[in-house]
Amino acid sequence: MPRTRDFDCDTALDAALRLFWSKGYEAASLAELTAAMGLSKSSLYNTFGDKQALFRAAVDRYEQVHMAQALAVLADARRPVPLRVEAFLRRILVARFGDGDRRGCFIGNTAAEVAPHDPHMAARVAAAFRRIEDALAAALEEGRETGEVAPDADARALARFFTATAQGLRLLSKADADPRALDDVVRVALSVLR
């Protein structure tokens, strides 16, 4: 009879995600991962596979939880489109200055550290950025239809611009940027919607 798990997979995966997010893939040792997850090495391997498979599962978890929350802000039809885009960008500032988060974007970190050496992860990162871009483009297209965004605006180009702006804000926040400087970036970026 197979042995039942005496731990919650999502809780363990969340712990691995936090460690990968704060330290990076290479710097997170197997000993640190097992300690953070509260698992033995054999339980980690039996449940998640090797370190690379665990990292891929952590990317999945990030997309399911953190990215989904950010994209839900863009899909909130109760708010005007410019306010949705602003809320999407300001979430980054709140994370950085609200709780001292200097981890940046997990997908952005993965793009810098892992994607150049791992074609599978490069494709995953590209798909994640496309998902963000698509959510922004959908909101901006809606804004064009409602008159909240200029009717001749290129929603796709704007979506790409805001995707890049969000990643830039995350990167700057890792470098301990001045809150006023980051606020300036958001303010100027939003000016393209006027």
Identify the CATH number of the domain in which residue 138 sits.
1.10.357.10
In angstroms, the CA 34 to CA 41 distance is 6
Q: Where would I find the H helices in 63-154?
A: 68-75, 81-99, 106-113, 119-146
**Is the residue at 4 inside a domain?**
no
Q: Which domain holds residue 180?
A: 9-193
Question: Contact 15/37 with Cβ under 8 angstroms?
Answer: yes
**Is the residue at 2 inside a domain?**
no
pLDDT given for residue 112 in this prediction: 94
pLDDT given for residue 1 in this prediction: 42
pLDDT given for residue 103 in this prediction: 84
Which residues in the chain land under pLDDT 50? 1-2, 4
pLDDT given for residue 92 in this prediction: 86
pLDDT given for residue 99 in this prediction: 62
**Is the residue at 1 inside a domain?**
no
pLDDT given for residue 2 in this prediction: 47
pLDDT tens readout for residues 134-183: 999 999 999 999 999 999 999 999 999 999 999 999 998 888 778 899 99
**Is the residue at 153 inside a domain?**
yes
**Is the residue at 164 inside a domain?**
yes
pLDDT given for residue 173 in this prediction: 84
Q: How many domains does the chain have?
A: 1
CA dihedral of 55, 161, 189, 98, whole degrees rounded to 10: -10
